[in-house]
Amino acid sequence: ETGVTQTPRHLVMGMTNKKSLKCEQHLGHNAMYWYKQSAKKPLELMFVYSLEERVENNSVPSRFSPECPNSSHLFLHLHTLQPEDSALYLCASSQPSDRGLYNEQFFGPGTRLTVL
C-alpha cells in the first residue's frame, strides 16, 4: 500500500466508448503524474500536475484528457481510443521537484486498459 489508489483496476472498452480513470493520493503531495506502461517499453510520462496546474503533456494525443480538480485527485478521461492505447496506466504523486531536492514518486497499482 503506497498511499495512492487507482480505479478501476481493469477496464475493457470499445473504440467509441468514453471512460475515465481515477487516481487519489493520501500522502499530502502537491504533484501528480499519469504514465503509460507498455510491455517491454520504458514508462512514458503523459501528464504532470504541480499545485493543480498542468506543466507537461509530452505531445499526448487529444483522445487523452487529464483533469486535476484538487491536489488529491487526478482523472484521465478517455474517448475514441485505439487498440494501440491498450496498456497499464499508472498514476504517481510526489512533492514538486525543486533544485537541490529529489522527490521520490509514489505509484498507484495502475489500471490495465484493453481497447477492443
Nearer CB in complex with other proteins: 24/80: 24
Nearer CB in complex with other proteins: 15/27: 27
- Minimum CB separation of residue 34 from other proteins in Å reads 13
- Minimum CB separation of residue 53 from other proteins in Å reads 16
Report the interface residues with other proteins, using CB under 8 A. Answer: 2, 4, 40-43, 45, 56, 90, 97-99, 102, 104-110
Nearer CB in complex with other proteins: 80/88: 88
- Minimum CB separation of residue 84 from other proteins in Å reads 17
| Sign of the dihedral through C-alpha 61, 112, 76, 1 | negative
Q: How far apart are CA 86 and CA 115, in angstroms?
A: 5
Nearer CB in complex with other proteins: 13/88: 88
